[in-house]
Structure 1
């Protein structure tokens, strides 16, 4: 093994700090690792994740099902999760005294409900292993000291240039900068293809509608799609004063990130408020009730769990007076009701913001990376982790799991390159 290789980790976010710790373990401390961060503090995204509670991962342990939570990168991560998945994440933190808990929706948080618990775990581990973080280090360029022949496995070294004219040589460089256009430009100059970045995971701003008067209501089993032929996304929907949020809307924003970008976020949407039930089925159910229990009051199916105020809105949209009995409702009103429940049409006019968190679809092309090791196919010794790559997941802890997994694969890949 090469003696004490010099390793630069560019980015002190989740994947960068985790990569540093995993590299140290893989190389048994026989290395010189430095982390460089352009801002004044580390792990900024970790701090705000999950409303300050830090959604570390998700309790979806099957690698195949887990990989399907990634609009981009699912094929590559399918194998990767066999190597390091949510169970491995849980055990890693457990060994360091951090207890985690799974909530009803599968999201996993520290039992303290504080992101500070996770941040301090990382900082203490870095301190214990004497891995420094150099702050306010803006990257200017990465330069391979020499270019190997295409058919050669010869390793290169790197000259890394920082703002202020500071430069340093390294044997290995790990890029863990997340969504950073300046860094992508630097990587492009090194010969990498950058998939044009567009926003992912955002709320949906709607054209003015009285639906938004129901701000704060959650419709637990919704389905939404872009008209005319978008792929439906399911989950709880949160009504806000500007439009739609919650897992259902955020999943649509992730899976349709490029479609929405190309449409300038102006599209027609269709919402099924009862989880994919067909309008014809609902119509038949209510016609049957009209025939068999005409004296009963018109109510929603209890299994739909629709808030009372929302049901009132559904009736108004269907042009049905409240408190009507089945005997008082016409067949055309029942048809209107079934269509409102299953095919409400809304107009999206802009992209909203999902709290202070953000995810980008785009980055270093997955075709440029050997996913078994996270090493560049073009430049040996250059590795990538986390969201700098064209990989992103839906909300629920999946983007952090991508960070932990790719960081671990990079660490193992670096160990392989060090073996002579």
Structure 2
């Protein structure tokens, strides 16, 4: 059997490795359109490669996927985070989990993961062709022909498409031409730009736990929040951008962000915290007693925003001042205008609809012998190693060629 894998990224490599492992006598060829292999693996996690997540609960794991979680829940029964851990460690790559559940190689160097995958491919005798861009797939009587240009084509018995996400619909047209439904791609996993907001002056300030909302919508994000020189980032923002990818695209990335700096959902509890400070530290200056251990720079910024002098004493702020403080702590509003890609980790929401593939095998419902893996599918996740886990899982399933 001759097996073609389109795409030299994480999902493509893993699918090729599985296909060759499952069918040792077959010929497996990886076709990568660029000169670079495993480029996302190399840059992910700031060059450390966030391989997977430490959660072992399939139910919790599948909640990290705004799109595809339901289908992945079944596939995770076959290959999940535990299997990923075992797969890499059994090949000499030691992994460790951070407190936030993100899993990295002990070397803290993504090259370790790249080398592991490259070694496995070489060991199995898988062929790699770079600068091999597939323009068209043509179904034949007993297989598929892949056209690299108008003239040259290569025949395969089975083909796995792991071409990655495309920022534009045109990049997926060749798959739409075969009858597959395509969910239009829009960016996911991005940070928020706030060109008109003074909060940018606090660049580098981080809050351990904050709650974020898109004003007028039900979406909620929480977790660490980081103020940047262009606006806001961190998991509390990235979760919103991921789950709200289509919604925010429809808004043209112009909306109001509500920030609860306390992460406390009951405003009365926050009120009680403020009243307790007024009782216990009434003669102290506002600037010197920080509720919820907020960073000093942020606390001083919020006081200024509330038009309360830093040197004013706690027992002098009155009802109006108290109300202003509680409102700012629990419902601070910032105008968002635009987005910025999170690090170099470009993730798209959209791709080949999961309605177009067999949910158990990832084989095309339209073209027999054609399978899909990775981000070319309408599957994406929040930050934390989940996108790579989807690549390993779908690569594993597609590589069964069943």
Structure 2 length normalisation: TM-score? 0.96
Gaps of 5+ in 2: none
Instruction: Summarize the alignment of residues 277-356 of structure 1 with structure 2, pairs less than 5 Å apart.
Output: 277-291=265-279, 293-298=281-286, 299-301=289-291, 304-356=292-344
Q: 1:16 aligned to 12, 16, 19, which one?
A: 12
Are 2:49 and 2:108, in contact at CA under 8 Å, matched by a contact in 1? yes
Q: 2:22 aligned to 26, 34, 39, which one?
A: 26
Query: 1:363 is matched with which residue?
Result: 351
Query: 1:173 is matched with which residue?
Result: 159
Shift of residue 351, structure 1, vs aligned partner: 1.3
Measure the CA separation in 2 of the matches of 1:206 and 1:102: 33
Gaps of 5+ in 1: 147-155
Name the SS for the 1:376 alignment partner: coil
Name the SS for the 1:375 alignment partner: coil
Query: 1:152 is matched with which residue?
Result: none
Name the SS for the 1:285 alignment partner: helix
Query: 1:57 is matched with which residue?
Result: 52
Shift of residue 166, structure 1, vs aligned partner: 1.6
Query: 1:386 is matched with which residue?
Result: 374
Measure the CA separation in 2 of the matches of 1:123 and 1:69: 28
Are 1:278 and 1:342, in contact at CA under 8 Å, matched by a contact in 2? no
Shift of residue 278, structure 1, vs aligned partner: 3.2
Matched, 1:121 2:116: yes
Measure the CA separation in 1 of the matches of 2:170 and 2:243: 26
Query: 1:88 is matched with which residue?
Result: 83
CA RMSD between the two structures: 1.4
Query: 2:196 is matched with which residue?
Result: 208
Query: 1:160 is matched with which residue?
Result: 146
Measure the CA separation in 1 of the matches of 2:154 and 2:281: 81
* Cα distance change on mapping 1:182 and 1:26 into 2, 3 Å: farther
Query: 1:247 is matched with which residue?
Result: 235
Q: 2:397 aligned to 404, 409, 412, which one?
A: 409
Instruction: Summarize the alignment of residues 182-221 of structure 1 with structure 2, pairs less than 5 Å apart.
Output: 182=170, 184-221=172-209
* Cα distance change on mapping 1:292 and 1:248 into 2, 3 Å: closer
* CA deviations over 1:256-306 (Å, ceiling 9, x no partner): 1001101110111111111143333312332344346533554233xx342
Name the SS for the 2:17 alignment partner: helix
Instruction: Summarize the alignment of residues 252-271 of structure 1 with structure 2, pairs less than 5 Å apart.
Output: 252-271=240-259
Name the SS for the 1:98 alignment partner: coil
